[in-house]
Amino acid sequence: MDAAGTPTRPAAPEPADRLPSGARLLKGERNWWFLGPGGVARLADRHVTADGGLRPEAERRLHESGLFTTPRIGAYALTVLTSTHCNLGCGYCFQNTAQDQGGGSRPPRIARTRLTSDTITSILGFTERQMAAAGLEKLSVLLFGGEPLLNPRGCVELLERAGKIAPTSAWMISNATLLTPHLARRLAELGLASVQVTFDGDRPDHDRIRVGRADGGGTFDKIVRNIARASEVSPLRWTLRVNVSQETFDGVDALIDRLAGTLDPARCSLYFARIGDVGVGYANSLLHNGDLAAAFTRWQRRALELGFTVSRPGARKTCVTCGHTDGRYGAVVSADGTLASCWETAGKPDWEVGTVTDGYLPSAVTRDRWIGCQDLYRYDEDARTLARFRDTVDTALLDHLHATGRL
């Protein structure tokens, strides 16, 4: 353990003949952690072989407990860009097509489109066909953009009409600058359960990076105020994503305390993300080393101490949407009805994999266009370094959750 309480021992190897796909076996401070498709289990040293494999008795019990079994997919996952435009001018956005040559807050973006009633009709017809083919009776909708609330009528109409074809739950990724109490209440009535909002560090860093497209002004106070007001009139929960880069790193500790003082931590989950080099001309110089792992551990423990939720580690899972090249269990649809494999390529020219009218293109065409989660992110380190970082952070979190009675 280092000074921050982060395990420094390397994670155990994962013998392919003993672990199910995506499962992880991590060496904690006093025990081992098994993270399988069916859940998490705490194991003793006697359950693990010297080379980091499961002993037969431990494997049998994990099987019997269902931890080797991948849960059945229960809902069709539909992501819809209600607007490809955005009212912010973040220079690192993956939907930018170039930098603002004038050094301002208006980088050129993907083509502007807006969801219409006719397109909603086509999207829901496509969705019904896909759900029938997959044998799914429930629908999960992600409202996405651009900024989805630049088209509030499209958001409302989509959820209203989706609820008529299947039991529907929904969540949204938004910058929250346009979220009003009235809109929050209405969307919640239509099945919206949670909203993911991003912060780029504490207020000074955030207001320098996450700026209004029209005037280049800061957005921190407006976002926090809108979340607080929406929470007063709706049951919405909030996932607060904290982008971590060399530009924001030093302010994260203060941000956690500031958010705890202005929002209800019991309604919020904090998620720390070292963002990859996804924007045109953008680079993140932070490396996935022990110092960064210690910082993630410190932030997670402080968030828990203040009453926030922190996502529990799990097995590596295949994305329901982009993890299946035939779009079997989910789809990403741009505002004009074109299909993308993943939200990372939605609205980008030459990355279409079909349309909601005609369905998916032949696999021979989509093979080179099918992008999965994280495929477009660029890091300086190799996959082994990234895995070691994630294992270190996750092991420390599991140890802490157990020690504090939260697991």
Give residue 276's pLDDT band: very low, low, confident or very high (50, 70, 90).
confident
How sure is the predictor about 18, in pLDDT bands with cuts at 50, 70 and 90? low
How far apart, in Å, are the Cα atoms of 228 and each of 76, 184, 210, 235, 352?
31, 11, 19, 11, 38
Contacts of 172 (CB under 8 A, 6+ apart): 142, 143, 144, 148, 155, 187, 192, 194, 195, 196
Strand 32-36 and strand 24-27: pairing?
antiparallel
> Span 4-9, mean pLDDT?
43
Q: What is the pLDDT of residues 320-351, one digit of tens each?
A: 999 888 899 999 999 999 999 998 899 998 89
* pLDDT per position as a tens digit, 370-405: 988 767 666 777 889 999 999 999 999 999 999 999
Give the C-alpha separation, 113 to 81, whole Å: 9
How many angstroms separate the CA atoms of 112 and 10, rounded?
47
User: How far apart (Å, rounded) are the C-alpha atoms in residues 243 and 299?
Assistant: 13
What span, in angstroms and rounded, lies between the C-alpha atoms of 347 and 341?
11
Q: Per-residue pLDDT tens for 217-231? A: 999 999 999 999 999
Is residue 251 within 8 Å of residue 201, measured between CB atoms?
Answer: yes
N-to-C CA span, the chain: 20
Which burial class, exposed, middle or buried, applies to 180 when counting CB atoms under 10 A from its CB (0-12, 13-18, 19+)? Answer: middle
Q: What is the pLDDT of residues 284-316, one digit of tens each?
A: 889 999 999 999 999 999 999 999 999 999 999
Q: Please say if the pLDDT value at position 15 is more than 50.
A: no
Compute the mean pLDDT over every residue in the chain, rounded to the nearest whole number: 92
Which has more confidence, 254 or 104?
254
Give residue-wise pLDDT tens across range 97-155.
999 988 899 999 999 999 999 999 999 999 999 999 999 999 999 999 999 999 999 99
pLDDT score recorded for residue 154: 98
Considering only 10-19, 57-66, 251-260, which range has the smallest mean pLDDT? 10-19
Res 2 pLDDT > 80: no
Q: pLDDT exceeding 90 applies to what percent of the chain? A: 81
Confidence (pLDDT) at 378: 65
Indicate if the pLDDT at residue 7 is higher than 70: no
Give strand pairing partners of 269.
Answer: 239, 309
pLDDT at position 374, please?
A: 66
Q: How far, in Å, CA of 35 to CA of 65, rounded?
A: 13
Q: How many other C-beta atoms can be found within 10 angstroms of the C-beta atom of residue 396?
A: 28
Range 175-199 average pLDDT: 98
Q: Residue 171: in which H helix or E strand, if any?
A: strand 168-173
Confidence of residue 10 (pLDDT cuts 50, 70, 90): very low
- Calculate ∠ Cα 149-152-158, nearest 5°: 110
**Cα dihedral sign for 157, 160, 162, 164?**
negative
